[in-house]
Structure formats: structure tokens, C-alpha cells
């Protein structure tokens, strides 16, 4: 680790020297590139320099301890050395985390796709609850949200709904939500008052630009049809809904929420690019899983990841063994405790995988 940190610090010094040259501004693109690079490694360099200072102070304290015969001074130096060693351990762990490979999509906006699973109408109502939960969490995080596409049911649920969450870092916070979410409660449709178990699946896809995913128009089959469900007479009688099929992969996307066929097509293409990227990521993850299975973010959409138990006001994330007795607050968008633990666990798994 230290060799790598030395190289990073050397590169940082080189960039400082290059950027201090007044002529560097004349090459604007190169100047911006160097500015982004130095910003990306500045925190690592700052931590490393602090670590080197701690190491220097530790060596001095230990040298003084060996040469001292004063009991009081020796006690002080031992205490100082212990404090410095604790700080050294903390900095080394933080630096190891900083050196972990960054997920290239962490800063992206996302599409959150929610689909009703087993449980009929109750599952569709639970999908609506998850939509509200993620919408409120996004609003609390100052993200912009929009319903990109939806297939509502007659009693207020959703067979499928896609929520767009726009904002820097949305994917880094929500990417561990993919999987099967299970609910245990007495359905409003149940006259006998028995607790039922239903489920919904969630898929979180990073939104990507057109230049990041090259989609050949010749590979697309585009169909139009009349939208269904609420929305007024024009929605149900005009050919505004769009279905796009990516022929090489068989990925199909439909969009009907907008009255304009052009708007629906634009949204469908945005979702298609994200699904194609997700397919690519999932295939890469599956290959990696052959050698090292990670607990969080395995990409297995059939995995039951969380249970929402209404009678006990309990939510349990099965991947990390976390149980909170504040289901009402979680469904109101208070996901911070869960997301924080998922991110910490993911870092710990990655650190374990490095063998550091």
C-alpha cells in the first residue's frame, strides 16, 4: 500500500507544478483534465501526509522512551505512543478504503423499477408503498423525482412502476436496493384478519448518456399502441404508447405515461440504455461471483433482501442481519440507517477481498 501511496503523492506534486505554470491555462482541456485528476487524489494525499507525520512522531516517541530513565516521562511517552499508534491504525484503514476501486456509476442518476410479485393485489399495493418510500427518501436527499412509466391497478397499487431519481450520487446510495422485498401484514382486502406475505421486486439501474451506451437504431424495433389505465380519453384512444425492442438482446421497454408519442419514445430510450448497461454489469458480476461471492450487491434479483413486518413495526435486511423497529419511519423515507450500514458492509467486504 505504501508504494502505491508514494506514487500517488509523486503524481500530485507533478500536477501541482504543472498547474502552477501560467501557460497551463492556455491549454484549457488539458488544464481541466489535470484539475479533475488532482482533485480526485487530493484527499488520499492529505491522509497519507498525515500518516507519515504520525509515523515520524511515533518513531521519535519510541526513541525517547528507550533513552529515558525518568518513570513519569516514560509513562507519558508510552501513553503518547499508544495514542499515535491508534491514529496510525485509523488512517491506514481510511486510506485502504480510499484506494478501493470506485464504482464508475456511483455519481449517476437512477431508474428504480418496482414490480409486484407474489400476492396479487396486496403485492401491487406494497409496490405502491415502496414507490412512496423511495420518493420520500429522494426528496429528503434533495433529488429530483419523476414517474417515468407506470401500470396502476384499480385500487391504488402498481403492477409495475418506474421512478426516475435525478441527482449526483443517487446510484451510490440506492444501488443495494435491488432484490426481492417481502411484506408481512393484514391486507386491506382480507376480511378474516390474517397476516399475509407478499413480495415486490426492485431493480436500480444507473441512467447513462447516449454516448456511454451505443445503441444502433437498426437494432431497434419500435411499436406504437394505445395506452391503458387512468389518464383520460386521449390516452386510451391515440397511439401514444411506445414499445421498443432491442433485437440482439431481446430487452423490451414500453412507456405510456406521456400523451406525446415522441416523449414516450424518448423516455423508453433512456430506460433501454440503462437496462442494456445493467445487463452488461450483471453479466460481469456473474463472472466475478464464480470466484468471489459478495454478500451485498451480488446482482441476484431473485434474492430476498428485506422483510417489512407491520404487526411488529419491524424491518429486517437479511444480507447484513440488521433489524430496526421503526418500519413506519422507514416507509416514510427514513432509509439512512439501512443505507449507511449497507455501504459500510460493502466496503468491509471489498477490503477483505483485497487481503490487506
> Which domain CATH number covers 271?
3.30.70.1660
| Residue 351 · residue 188 · CB < 8 Å | no
- pLDDT, the chain, mean: 85
Residue 117 domain-assigned?
yes
pLDDT band at 14 (very low <50, low <70, confident <90, very high): very high
Q: Which residue has the higher pLDDT, 36 or 184?
A: 184
pLDDT at position 355: 56
pLDDT at position 182: 95
- Residues 44 and 83: their CA atoms lie apart, in Å, by 22
Residue 158 domain-assigned?
yes
- Residues 184-233 have pLDDT tens digits of 999 876 666 788 999 999 999 998 876 667 788 888 888 887 776 654 44
As a dihedral over the C-alpha atoms of residue 173, residue 178, residue 180, residue 186, rounded to 10 degrees, the angle is 40
User: Is the pTM higher than 0.75?
Assistant: no
Residue 354 domain-assigned?
no
* 93 and 115 within one domain: no
* 301 and 275 within one domain: yes
pLDDT at position 77: 83
* 191 and 335 within one domain: yes
Residue 341 pLDDT greater than 80, yes or no: yes
- Residues 155-164 have pLDDT tens digits of 899 999 999 9
DSSP string, 194-239: --EEEEEEEEEEE---TTTS---GGGEEEEEE---SSS-HHHHHSS
The phi and psi torsions of 183 (rounded to 5 degrees) equal -120, 140
Question: N- to C-terminal Cα distance for the chain?
Answer: 8
Residue 340 domain-assigned?
yes
Q: Which residue has the higher pLDDT, 348 or 167?
A: 167
* 6 and 119 within one domain: no
User: Which of the listed residues 38, 65, 99 is the one where a domain comes to its end?
Assistant: 99
DSSP string, 144-176: EEEEEEEEE-TTS-EEEEEEEEESTTHHHHHGG
Residue 105 domain-assigned?
no
User: Which of the listed residues 78, 99, 120 is the one where a domain comes to its end?
Assistant: 99
* 84 and 156 within one domain: no
* 319 and 256 within one domain: yes
* 47 and 94 within one domain: yes
* 274 and 220 within one domain: yes
* 29 and 133 within one domain: no
* 264 and 182 within one domain: yes
Please state the domain count of the chain.
2
| Residue 229 · residue 152 · CB < 8 Å | yes
Q: Which three cell numbers stand for residue 181?
A: 422485498
Residue 274 domain-assigned?
yes
* 195 and 68 within one domain: no
User: Which of the listed residues 30, 64, 99 is the one where a domain comes to its end?
Assistant: 99
* 91 and 173 within one domain: no
Structural domain boundaries enclosing 233: 110-289+297-349
Residue 158 to residues 9, 82, 122, 196, 282, Cα–Cα distance (Å): 53, 58, 10, 18, 26
Residue 104 domain-assigned?
no
Residue 355 domain-assigned?
no
- Count the residues in the chain: 356
Nearest to 47 by CA among 101, 100, 1, 5: 5
pLDDT at position 293: 43
pLDDT at position 356: 53
Amino acid at each position: 500500500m505504501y508504494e502505491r501511496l508514494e506514487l500517488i503523492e509523486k503524481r500530485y506534486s507533478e500536477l501541482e507544478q504543472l498547474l502552477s505554470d501560467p501557460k497551463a491555462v492556455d491549454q484549457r482541456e488539458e488544464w481541466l483534465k489535470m484539475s479533475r485528476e488532482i482533485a480526485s487524489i487530493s484527499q488520499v494525499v492529505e491522509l497519507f501526509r498525515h500518516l507519515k507525520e504520525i509515523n515520524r512522531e511515533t518513531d521519535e516517541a519510541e526513541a525517547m522512551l528507550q533513552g529515558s530513565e525518568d518513570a513519569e516521562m516514560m509513562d507519558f511517552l508510552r501513553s503518547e505512543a499508544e495514542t499515535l499508534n491508534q491514529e496510525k491504525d485509523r488512517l491506514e484503514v481510511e486510506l485502504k478504503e480510499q484506494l478501493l476501486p470506485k464504482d464508475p456509476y456511483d455519481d449517476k442518476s437512477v431508474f428504480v423499477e418496482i414490480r409486484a410479485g407474489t400476492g396479487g393485489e396486496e403485492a401491487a399495493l406494497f409496490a405502491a408503498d415502496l414507490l412512496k418510500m423511495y420518493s420520500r427518501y429522494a426528496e429528503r436527499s434533495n433529488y429530483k423525482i419523476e414517474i417515468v412509466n407506470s401500470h396502476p391497478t384499480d385500487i391504488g397499487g402498481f403492477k409495475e412502476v418506474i421512478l426516475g431519481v435525478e441527482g449526483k450520487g443517487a446510484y451510490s446510495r440506492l444501488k443495494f436496493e435491488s432484490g426481492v422485498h417481502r411484506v408481512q401484514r393484514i391486507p386491506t382486502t382480507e376480511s378474516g384478519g390474517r397476516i399475509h406475505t407478499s413480495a415486490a421486486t426492485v431493480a436500480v439501474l444507473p441512467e447513462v448518456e447516449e454516448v456511454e451506451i451505443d445503441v444502433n437504431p437498426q437494432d431497434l424495433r419500435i411499436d406504437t399502441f394505445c395506452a391503458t389505465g387512468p389518464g383520460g380519453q386521449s390516452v386510451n384512444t391515440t397511439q401514444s404508447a411506445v414499445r421498443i425492442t432491442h433485437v440482439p438482446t431481446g430487452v423490451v421497454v414500453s412507456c405510456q405515461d406521456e400523451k406525446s408519442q415522441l416523449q414516450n419514445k424518448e423516455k423508453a430510450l433512456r430506460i433501454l440504455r440503462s437496462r442494456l448497461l445493467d445487463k452488461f454489469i450483471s453479466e460481469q458480476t456473474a463472472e466475478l461471483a464464480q470466484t468471489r461471492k459478495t454478500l451485498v450487491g451480488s446482482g441476484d434479483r431473485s434474492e430476498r433482501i428485506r422483510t417489512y413486518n407491520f404487526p411488529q413495526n419491524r424491518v429486517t435486511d437479511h444480507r447484513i442481519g440488521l433489524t430496526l423497529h421503526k418500519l413506519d419511519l422507514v416507509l416514510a423515507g427514513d432509509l439512512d440507517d439501512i443505507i449507511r450500514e449497507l455501504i459500510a458492509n460493502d466496503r468491509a467486504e471489498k477490503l477483505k477481498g483485497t487481503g490487506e
